[in-house]
Amino acid sequence: MKRRTFIQGMAATPFALAAPRAVSTASADAAPLDIAAVYSLSGTFANVGALMNDGSKWAFEHYGDVLGRKLNYVLVDDRGDAGEAVRRVQELMTQNNVKHVIGCTNSAIGLAVQKEVFARGGVYINQAGADEVTGKDCNRASFRWPVASYSAVNATVRPLIEQFPNAKRWYTITGQYVFGDSLLTNCKALFKEKGVEHVGNSYHSLSDREYSGYIATALAASPDVLAICNFGNQTLDVVRQAISYGVKRNAKILAIWSTGLDQYQALGPENCEGVYFGCNFWHGVDSADGRTIGDIVKQKTGNVPNYLQACGFAVAQVLIEGIRKANSVEPAAVISALEGMTYEGPTGTETIRKEDHQVIKPYYLMLGKAKSAMKDANDFADVISATKAFLPPDQTGCKMT
């Protein structure tokens, strides 16, 4: 019984994460289990990849072994290149017989790797944000921990529209790639549904660092809300530059997808105040697993966990607990075990939806607070709402293969 930390009900106790070590049955004779972790440790999103990599590594250290086999962390640095990620994963799966893969730093990489892992009979737990991951490009091998862009938009834009019915004019600034486009598409659909005017959108490339021209264009459209459809450092730059151009005087700023604490720290309280952020994880939301991750991160860094660390931890955790539940490392058995699994995750009780392999969990809308209102150095924002907003399975476009 103790092996199964995912038995429904039992998982809600703090023992859920303590159990794996306590019941460790590692045998000196069993061969280590190689698990590949795909992260970008250089390139545009390297700051994201490095922290996710930390989270995943710490999960491996925390669990130590699974089914008597030592967990062996095989890092794949894709250098921000989806092609490189696929080549390296292909190499590991064909030459080293690796069957278990976790991680990705952006959606383009996640989508590419999930096709590859599926084609080679493995199992893949990732944190890509684009809808396609559990939508039209879904497959049986792949599972996603964070919410999809549909959920992020509906858990942030929708409550803001409802909270501020007079904010009728929305402008978007969008990173032109899979994930940015995915957020924008969902925004447009929601604007249409709610009768909100989309007064303009500025696409920008992934290599942009100067956004003043886009912000000037946005200001010329006199929006009530400026929504940012992107993630990573570019989101920070847009927020920072929008504030310096006085956008907050007449409009609200919403970063639909943020990575939470690390980005608030990077912006500083003076740039967070009054800005709305969407976020997958917040250390201030209490949960058993969240406390376990908090203890680990505190021990490693002396600080509280941020989303990237929690997310890296979560994808590793899902895979390991899936293996435990399956009582087998065979991908087919693990996949079957993961489908419909309920467990205690970083945001509380989380469930993996069988139909599209999406983890059902809340997404937070947060509002940055003034420096004077911060209770401690990490108290940058208040949680305004926590919403589980997911497309019904029959509308995701996922045809499980």
Q: Which residues bind other proteins (CB under 8 A)?
A: 42-44, 46-47, 50-51, 176, 202-205, 207-210, 212-214, 216-217, 219-220, 233, 236-237, 240-241, 244-246, 249, 262-263, 265-268, 270-271
CB of 258 vs other proteins, minimal distance in Å: 12
- CB atoms inside a 10 Å sphere around CB 165: 10
Q: Smallest Cα–Cα separation from 258: which of 66, 73, 129, 401? A: 129
Task: For the sheet with 225-229, list strands across it.
Answer: 197-204, 169-175, 225-229, 252-258, 276-279, 363-368, 381-387
Q: Cβ closer to other proteins: 194 or 240?
A: 240
- For 138-200, where are the alpha helices, taking DSSP H only? 149-163, 178-194
As measured in angstroms, the least distance from the Cβ of 300 to other proteins is: 12
30-68: b (≥16 Cβ within 10 Å) or e: eeebbbbbbbbbebbbbbbbbbbbbbbbbbbebbebbbe
42/327 with CB nearer other proteins = 42
In angstroms, give the least distance from the CB of 391 to other proteins: 27
Least distance to other proteins, CB of residue 181, Å: 11
Please, which residues bridge with residue 349 across strands? 344
State the residue for tokens 């209102």. 373
Rank residues 211 and 343 by Cβ distance to other proteins and give the closer one. 211
Half-sphere exposure of 375 (CA within 13 A, CB side): 4
Between residues 246 and 340, which has the closer beta carbon with respect to other proteins? Answer: 246
Q: Which is nearer to other proteins, 95 or 299 (CB)?
A: 299
Rounded CA-CA distance 240/62 in Å is 37
The smaller minimum CB distance to other proteins, of residues 205 and 372, is found at 205
Q: What are the beta bridge partners of residue 34? A: 72
Tell me the H-state helices in 255-383: 261-267, 269-272, 288-301, 307-326, 331-338
The distance of closest approach from Cβ of residue 177 to other proteins in the complex, given in angstroms and rounded to an integer, is 11
What is the DSSP secondary-structure string of 51-94? HHHHHHHHHHHHH-EETTEEEEEEEEE-TT-HHHHHHHHHHHHH
Looking at residue 129, its amino acid is: G
Choice between 265 and 336, CB closer to other proteins:
265
| Amino acid present at 85 | A
Q: By C-beta, is 24 or 212 nearer to other proteins? A: 212
